């Protein structure tokens, strides 16, 4: 009886499965790719090719893993660059794939660098494949190569990471946390930016400083001062998908402040006696509002809340007095307002609302927005901006007054 039962149970379902199993095993593993059949791409540079048939010139920085952490490293370069061209991005990728021994795997692309030339021509065509392809990640960072071919940025040896792209990413993280005005700009941010009515994205700029000779070999690192350094600087301002120009200095900082992306940055002000004071603003909160009585003439209210600490005060100011600090914080807000005004001025110059004023209006006053949507550019160029700024100097760090006060 037991045997019969056994037979009966075997016969129905497991038998079916068992019959299928060898079938499945034999036909193979379709999506199965062994790790050592993959070429991991860490970064992609996108250049404009000379002709229509070679419209896109994609340079893939491929990690040579064995050189980075393997035991039998051959002492060759830790990354290799493959370049492919094509009418579309995908064709260029296919072209590059043909040169590599392994599958170009885009799952770990951390950086995309677009050349300035291509950016000025328009980037919307390259974005489609980036969001459509399931292998690429939306969290890849986008850069614009400032005034040079993008592939040069993929072929520069760096000091702090064997993979140049990682060096770039780390630099960005550092500057966005401290003393800089660049911030993480990911693929989907750019896509959203391109669709901003009357505006566009802003993208970090990157360039190499120094001589290009030998930048792609270890020679670059042999001296104490590397010949060629990857540097992140400036913001590329876009109108729709076309790059309009570069933001630097106050305008860049103000833009980032308006986007609320900056965590910590230094401010230097000049006091009445002509000396300089340095602050570290370690918290900055900017909120935008729109006061709309007449949609044709909206008023954008920029509310700024900042916290700062005095980092340097090489003069005889009495920092123990609240009044003095009050005065300083007013100067501080003045400085911030100056920066934001510079940002708005350059945005108006580029005729691009990458600052998101239109969005603010849309959020707070959707009906009014619909009326002005079509000619927002004109309104943006003329709309009034009001400031409501408040800065607090929380502390003066480890000393109160400078020793110079006792002179």
Q: Tell me which residues touch other proteins (CB under 8 A).
A: 1, 4-5, 8-10, 12-14, 16-17, 20-21, 24-25, 27, 29-36, 38, 40, 42, 63, 65-66, 68-72, 105, 107-108, 110, 131, 134-135, 137-139, 166, 186, 188, 191-192, 195, 359, 362-364, 366
Which C-beta is closer to other proteins: that of 90 or that of 309? 90
What are the structure tokens assigned to 262, written together?
């900056």
What are the structure tokens assigned to 382, written together?
């003329």
Of 251, 253, 248, give the one whose Cα is nearest residue 264: 253
Q: How far is the CB of 207 from other proteins (least distance, A)?
A: 24
Which C-beta is closer to other proteins: that of 100 or that of 396? 100
Q: How many CA within 13 A on the CB side of residue 31?
A: 1
User: Cβ neighbours of residue 303 under 8 Å, at least 6 residues apart?
Assistant: 286, 287, 288, 289, 388, 389
User: Cβ neighbours of residue 12 under 8 Å, at least 6 residues apart?
Assistant: none
Of 131, 86, 87, 98, give the one whose Cα is nearest residue 112: 131
**Residue holding tokens 């999506």?**
31
Which C-beta is closer to other proteins: that of 8 or that of 406? 8
Q: How far is the CB of 170 from other proteins (least distance, A)?
A: 10
Q: How far is the CB of 12 from other proteins (least distance, A)?
A: 7
The answer to whether the beta carbons of residues 312 and 276 sit under 8 Å apart is yes
Which C-beta is closer to other proteins: that of 135 or that of 397? 135
Q: How far is the CB of 189 from other proteins (least distance, A)?
A: 9
What are the structure tokens assigned to 374, written together?
């079509």
Helix (H) or strand (E) holding 62, with range, is strand 56-63
SS3 322: helix
Separation of CA 24 from chain center: 45
CA 115 – CA 150 distance, rounded (Å): 5
DSSP assignment letter at 120:
H
What are the structure tokens assigned to 82, written together?
């493959």
Which C-beta is closer to other proteins: that of 40 or that of 383? 40
User: Cβ neighbours of residue 248 under 8 Å, at least 6 residues apart?
Assistant: 233, 234, 235
Q: How far is the CB of 64 from other proteins (least distance, A)?
A: 9
End-to-end CA distance of the chain: 109
Which C-beta is closer to other proteins: that of 65 or that of 221? 65
Which C-beta is closer to other proteins: that of 27 or that of 223? 27
Q: How far is the CB of 60 from other proteins (least distance, A)?
A: 15
Helix (H) or strand (E) holding 301, with range, is strand 299-313
CA 247 – CA 243 distance, rounded (Å): 11
Which C-beta is closer to other proteins: that of 137 or that of 311? 137
Q: How far is the CB of 275 from other proteins (least distance, A)?
A: 38
Q: How far is the CB of 41 from other proteins (least distance, A)?
A: 11
Q: How far is the CB of 257 from other proteins (least distance, A)?
A: 17
Which C-beta is closer to other proteins: that of 34 or that of 52? 34
């Amino acid at each position: 009886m037991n045997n019969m039962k056994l037979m009966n149970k075997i016969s129905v379902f497991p038998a079916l499965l068992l019959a299928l199993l060898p079938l499945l095993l034999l036909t193979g593993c379709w999506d199965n790719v062994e790790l050592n059949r993959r070429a991991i791409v860490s970064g992609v540079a996108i250049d404009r090719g000379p002709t229509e048939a070679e419209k896109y010139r994609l340079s893939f920085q491929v990690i040579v893993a064995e050189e980075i952490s393997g035991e039998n490293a051959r002492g060759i370069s830790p990354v290799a660059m493959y370049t492919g061209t094509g009418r579309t991005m995908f064709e260029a990728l296919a072209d590059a794939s043909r040169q590599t021994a392994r599958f170009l795997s885009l799952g770990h692309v951390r950086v995309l660098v677009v050349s300035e030339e291509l950016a000025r021509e328009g980037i919307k065509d390259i974005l489609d494949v980036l969001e459509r392809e399931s292998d690429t990640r939306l969290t890849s960072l986008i850069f614009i190569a400032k005034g040079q071919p993008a592939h040069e940025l993929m072929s520069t040896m760096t000091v702090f990471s064997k993979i140049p792209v990682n060096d770039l990413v780390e630099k960005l993280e550092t500057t966005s946390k401290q003393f800089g005005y660049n911030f993480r700009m990911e693929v989907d941010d750019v896509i959203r930016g391109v669709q901003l009515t009357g505006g566009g994205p802003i993208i970090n700029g990157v360039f190499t400083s120094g001589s290009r000779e030998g930048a792609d070999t270890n020679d670059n690192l042999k001296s104490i001062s590397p010949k060629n350094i990857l540097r992140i600087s400036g913001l590329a301002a876009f109108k729709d998908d076309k790059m309009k120009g570069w933001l630097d200095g106050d305008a860049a900082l103000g833009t980032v402040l308006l986007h609320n992306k900056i965590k910590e940055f230094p401010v230097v002000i000049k006091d009445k006696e002509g000396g300089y004071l340095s602050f570290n603003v370690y918290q900055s909160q900017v909120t935008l509002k729109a006061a709309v009585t007449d949609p044709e003439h909206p008023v954008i209210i920029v509310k700024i809340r900042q916290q700062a600490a005095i980092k340097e005060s090489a003069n005889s100011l009495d920092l123990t007095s609240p009044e003095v600090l009050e005065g300083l914080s007013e100067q501080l807000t003045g400085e911030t307002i100056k920066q934001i005004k510079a940002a708005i001025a350059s945005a108006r110059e580029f005729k691009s609302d990458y600052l998101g004023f239109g969005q603010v209006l849309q959020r707070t006053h959707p009906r009014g927005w619909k009326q002005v949507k079509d000619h927002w550019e004109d309104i943006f160029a003329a709309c009034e901006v009001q400031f409501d700024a408040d800065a607090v100097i929380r502390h003066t760090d480890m000393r109160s007054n400078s020793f110079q006060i006792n002179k």
